[in-house]
Every structure is written in structure tokens, then in C-alpha cells.
Amino acid sequence: MKISALGFATTSKSGDILDVYYPNIDFNEEKINIANTKNVSSNKKTVELNWGQEDLDNPVEDVCSAYLKLHLISYKLVKPNSINLDGLFAALPNVAWTNQGPISTDEIDEKLHDAKLSNTDLYVRSLDKFPSLTDYIIPKNVRIADTSRVRLGAYLGSGTTIMHEGFVNFNAGTLGTAMIEGRISAGVAVGNNSDLGGGCSTMGTLSGGNNIKISIGENCLLGANSGLGIPLGNNCTIEAGLYITAGTKIEKFDENGDSIAICKGSDLSGCSDIVFIRHSLTGKVMAKVNKSSVELNSELHSND
């Protein structure tokens, strides 16, 4: 494994690195080469990294390595959960993300003051450790209705459509064609031809004590305002408004419609061909054999 990268870092007045843009990456002879080194701003610092497999496996140590790992995921050179991102939050500074680029939080008050007095167009889009994906990388054959809702470090498969309420965190994303109207939390990967309905949620691993990586297989549907706290196999459906967690008590049925067991959600982790629904009178959660399939609109997701 050989990785070489050329990047340009934005620095504060005190010399602290705020972000790094990597337009040149050679990843095992797969090349990203979109650099134009002309007219580089005076507050930019050239960064060159030469890595091996051990650097991908080691925790994040600084801003430069953090941004390279995020770029590798969003360039789709590596998949979510395949490289070590331990230490990422500690390495990244909190930054004021503005229409004029990243600005140190120690300097933003002065910048805003000067902008008001000089009628300069300066507005702060967010105060965060992570920037938007499209400030650095424009993914091909993808539609994003609101780019502020997709972080750098998101992995977006060709044919993905992210609607206005869709959200994709870093180290997460879609592995193929998908419709995203819900939330893909950090660490969650969504399989090809799957649909996340409006307002639905996937449980991440950043807080709350959850250490199970949630994934969604191919040809799955999460209904509007549903939720997922276990990994799903292929061809699964969760009805609208139903949240499945590891501890949810579920009555399981066979293909003939006969009840065969009472189990927990965790017992069905990774299982395929299941539709999760609630009994309309009792409210009990049921897992039945899924005899239908998800079909996404091919015209909607060509995104050429």
C-alpha cells in the first residue's frame, strides 16, 4: 500500500492549521489529480504526505492526517469503517465556516466587524469541526438538495439522491444507488437500491453508548419517521414510524404466517427478507417474511 498526497492548508494568523484541501492523491496508482497550484493564497501552506497501510490503521494524530482520511473516504478510495478514525475529534479544530473560507474562531469577531464596516459580504454558515463535503469534493452522478447536510468524509455511491431533509455524516454513506430523505449517522453504510424515507433515523456510534455498527443491506426501505438500531440484511422493510432497537421485543412469523418465536431486535441483526410492522390494534412489533421488493425510479437516480 502506497499513498502520496499533496494538499494546501489554511492557517490562522497564529499559524494554526484550520483545514487541508487535497486535490492530488495517488492511492495505489489510482490517481486524483485536479490541482492547479497557481495563485495560491498567502495563508495557504503546502502539505505533502507519504503513507503506507500502517498510517490508515493508526489513529488520527493531527489536522493534516484527519483531512486526508476524510478525503480518502469522500473520493471513494476507501469505504466507511475501513480505516482508523480514532482521535479524529481531538485532532480537528472548531472553525467558523464562511463564504470566504474557514476562519479561526479566535479571529471571526474581528473579521465580522471589519466586514460590517466595509460592507463586505461575509456570513458564517456554521461553527463546527467538519466542513461540508462540496466545499472540497464534488461527487459525480449524485444529487444533493442541501449541501450543508452532507459532511466531508461522506461516501456517496453513483446514483444517490439526497433530498432536502437528508443528512449524511462522515465515515458513512451509500454504496450504490439510493434515495436518502432521512439521516445516515456516522459509521452507517447503506446498500445499493435502498430507500430511507422522510425523517427516518439510523443509530450511530458517536454517543449514547452504542458500539454496534449499523448497516443497511440492498433493496431495503425505511419508512417515513422510522428508526433503525440494528444492522439490516437485504430486502428488508421497516414500516413508517416504527423504531427497531436491539432490545425491541418482536414476534417472529414464518412464511406461512404462523407465529414461531418472541425475540429481541438484536436476534434479527443482519437477517434478510424481513418486513417489520406493528399490529394495528395491539401495537406489538412483528417480523414477517418480506415478499415484496424495493424498486427505485431509474430516471430519478441516473443523475447524469
DSSP state letters, 116-158 = HHHT----EEEEESS-BGGGT---TT-EES-GGGBBTTEEE-T
Q: Which residue in the block uniquely carries the three cell numbers 480537528?
A: 92
Residues 164/180, Cβ–Cβ less than 8 Å: no
State the Cα–Cα distance between residues 137 and 71, nearest whole angstrom.
8
User: Which CATH number is 3-91 given?
Assistant: 3.30.70.2010
**Mean pLDDT value of segment 82-109:** 96
- What is the residue extent of each domain of the chain? 3-91, 95-128, 133-289
pLDDT at 297: 66
Residues 58/83, Cβ–Cβ less than 8 Å: no
- Kindly report the pTM of this predicted structure: 0.92
**pLDDT, tens digit, 9 for 90 and up, residues 51-81:** 999 999 999 999 999 999 999 999 999 999 9
**pLDDT, tens digit, 9 for 90 and up, residues 30-42:** 898 876 666 777 7
DSSP 150: B
**pLDDT, tens digit, 9 for 90 and up, residues 2-26:** 999 999 999 999 999 999 999 999 9
| Portion of the chain with pLDDT greater than 70, in percent | 92
**Mean pLDDT value of segment 115-131:** 94
State the Cα–Cα distance between residues 154 and 148, nearest whole angstrom.
12
pLDDT at 300: 61
**Mean pLDDT value of segment 137-166:** 97
Q: How many residues are listed for the chain in this entry?
A: 304
**pLDDT, tens digit, 9 for 90 and up, residues 179-235:** 999 999 999 999 999 999 999 999 986 655 456 889 999 999 999 999 999 999 999
Mean pLDDT for the chain? 93
Looking at 30, 48, 181, 299, which residue is catalytic? 181
**pLDDT higher than 70, residue 288:** yes
Fold of 133-289: UDP N-Acetylglucosamine Acyltransferase; domain 1 (2.160.10)
**Mean pLDDT value of segment 153-179:** 97
Sign of the CA dihedral with 85 first, then 89, 94, and 98 last = positive
**Mean pLDDT value of segment 101-116:** 95
pLDDT at 253: 96
Q: Residue 181 catalytic?
A: yes
pLDDT at 301: 57
